[in-house]
């Protein structure tokens, strides 16, 4: 079964999240997704610090698999970009520092949607 992904971008200190969506779409669900995306975005943004020397460097896409409590199910993985670049390393540090994510209980039924995230980090 293919899993459509939802995106959230990280432009200077703004992460792009892509979440696996396996549940039917509805207006209410889209609204809840938007709320969850903003919530996660804020948590990641607070932890993401790009070294000044890497401003303008290529972005990095990181995949994160989460447990229902918001902690890491496995370590974050760089999907593209140079794995040793300052942007990628800053992104990996941010994700390790920010987890477990604080996810309100109201979003627990949507776990299949947010258990896998792809986050694009820019400099």
Domain boundaries, the chain: 5-121
Tell whether the model's pLDDT for residue 75 goes beyond 90. Answer: yes
Q: What pLDDT, on the 0 to 100 scale, is given for residue 81?
A: 77
Residues 6 or more apart whose CB falls under 8 angstroms from that of 38 comprise none
In this prediction the pTM is: 0.75
- Assess whether pLDDT exceeds 60 at residue 23: no
User: Quick check: 62 and 92 in contact, CB under 8 A?
Assistant: yes
Please report the pLDDT score of residue 28 as a whole number: 63
Of 24, 19, 22, the C-alpha closest to 116 is: 19
- The β-bridge relationship of strands 16-20 and 8-10 is unpaired
Q: Is the pLDDT of residue 109 over 50?
A: yes
Domain range 5-121, CATH class: alpha beta
pLDDT recorded at residue 22: 45
């Amino acid at each position: 079964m293919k899993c459509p992904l939802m995106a959230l971008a990280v432009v200077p200190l703004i992460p792009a999240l892509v979440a696996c969506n396996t549940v039917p779409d509805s207006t209410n669900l889209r609204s809840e997704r938007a709320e969850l995306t903003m919530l996660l975005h804020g948590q990641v943004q607070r932890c993401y610090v790009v070294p000044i020397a890497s401003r303008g460097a290529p972005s990095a896409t990181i995949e994160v698999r989460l447990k229902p409590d918001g902690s890491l199910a496995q370590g974050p993985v760089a999907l593209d970009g140079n794995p040793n670049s300052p942007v990628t390393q800053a992104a990996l540090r941010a994700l390790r520092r920010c987890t477990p994510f604080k996810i309100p209980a109201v979003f627990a039924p949507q776990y299949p949607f947010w258990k896998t995230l792809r986050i694009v980090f820019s400099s």
